[in-house]
Amino acid sequence: MELFAVRNPGPMTTVQDLGRLAFLDRGVPLSGALDPFACRVANLLVGNPEDAAVLEITVMGPTIEVLTPADIALTGADMGMTINQAPIRAWRTVRANPGEVIRIPRAASGCRAYLAVTGGIDVPLMMGSRSTFVRAKIGGVQGRGLIKGDILHRRAGSLLTRPRELPDEWIPRYAREIALRAVPGPQDDAFREGIDAFFGASYEVTQQADRMGCRLRGPAVHRDGESPESIVTEPTMPGNVQVPADGQPIILLVEQTSGGYAKIATVITADLPNVAQAMPGNIVLFERVTLEDAHRLYREQQKHLQQIREHLKRVYGL
């Protein structure tokens, strides 16, 4: 059913879900919400499966006219959402009614917000996902970001009997100085001399930050003298910290499948949402952890999600 009329799309608003794994070996990147935690919680709040399609809103948000009643929840970056000019808090649901106008102005903290709606955004499932991948024009709304005049549909789903919210203490706070935990490798042996300096240095997030990668600026990472500038092209993972010839690191994200530069370290999965929320100008520090630490922190994050699921079920029922 017709849900939203887009009056103003914002600079980069796309439909995303949790991405597609099935065609990584054919050069189709993972895609999906850059901050999967915020995406999952937004869906849980409105009563959707966690992999329902949401809007991923980057830095500045859209202005949208509501066409059908729906419960909505905004999570991730705090963007100062209003409905008919009344401020609406993030990380909780609100009923949007036909004729109302939702405005999502601009991120005050964090970089990406996620808007979930009852039933999920209805776009065709393509290669197992609804996620937009703009470079290959697949998924989402005709394989592109939203434009003025788009009509978005939602899938069927039940409206809530009362609003739901995430307890305050569980709402992530996005700092301007971000510690990212990372495990060395896969090519840490090309940086034997430079790796200690890399883990001690601070880097600034540049404007060249998108879903493909987040380019940093700071002390050049020193590659060992005998190590070649490039490596034989190999598969990449979100979180890989790639070091090109100029020594300025790039954190690879979800729209890349392979690369030919050495990677000094890899940001742990539990910290990838913090990369998604980093704004140009923010400061990033890498902190070395072991693989065992990384897996323990991943389990803790999954346990936290489970705690959220159980809390919502207990307080609000199914």
Partner 1 sequence: MSGDRALLVEYGDGIDPVINEKVRAMTTLLKRNLPAGVEAVVPAYRSLSIIYDPLATTPGRLAEILHALEADSRAAEIAKAKVVPIPVCYGGEFGPDIGVVAEHTGLREDEIVVIHIAVDYPIYMIGFTPGFCYLGGLDRRLQMPRRKTPRTNLPAGSVGVAESQTGMYPVDSPGGWQIIGRTPLRLFAPARENPFLYEAGDRIRFVPIAEAEFRRLREKEWS
What is the smallest separation between the CB atom of 69 and partner 1, expressed in angstroms? 32
Q: Is the separation of the CB atoms in 79 and 57 below 8 Å?
A: yes
- Judged by beta carbon, residue 10 or residue 273, the one nearer partner 1 is 273
Alpha-carbon distances of 47 from 15, 145, 164, 189, 301, rounded to whole Å: 18, 25, 9, 47, 21
Report angle CA 260, 263, 264 to the nearest 5 degrees.
155
CB of 139 to partner 1, least distance (A): 8
Angle at CA 178, nearest 5°, toward 78 and 62? 25
φ, ψ dihedrals at 260, nearest 5°: -120, 15
Q: What is the DSSP letter of 279?
A: P
Closer by beta carbon to partner 1, 82 or else 227: 227
Residue with tokens 């490039």: 230
What are the residue ranges of helices labelled H in the chain? 36-46, 195-200, 272-276, 291-316
Residue 13 vs 256, nearer CB to partner 1: 256
Q: Which residues make Cβ contacts (< 8 Å) with residue 71, sequence separation at least 6?
A: 46, 47, 93, 94, 95, 96, 117, 118, 159, 160, 163
The smaller minimum CB distance to partner 1, of residues 73 and 183, is found at 183
Q: How far is the CB of 218 from partner 1 (least distance, A)?
A: 21
93-96 and 86-87 strand pairing: unpaired
Between CA 176 and CA 207 the distance in angstroms is 15
The smaller minimum CB distance to partner 1, of residues 139 and 172, is found at 139
Nearer to partner 1, 15 or 73 (CB): 15
Chain positions contacting partner 1, by CB under 8 A:
21-28, 126-127, 135-138, 183, 185-186, 232-237, 239-240, 257-258, 263, 266-269, 291, 294-295, 298-299, 302
Contact 259, 236 (CB under 8 A): yes
Could you tell me the smallest distance in angstroms from the CB atom of residue 26 to partner 1?
A: 5
Which of 2, 224 has the CB closer to partner 1? 224
Cβ of residue 8: shortest distance to partner 1, in angstroms? 28
Smallest distance from the beta carbon of 12 to partner 1, in angstroms? 20
CB of 293 to partner 1, least distance (A): 9
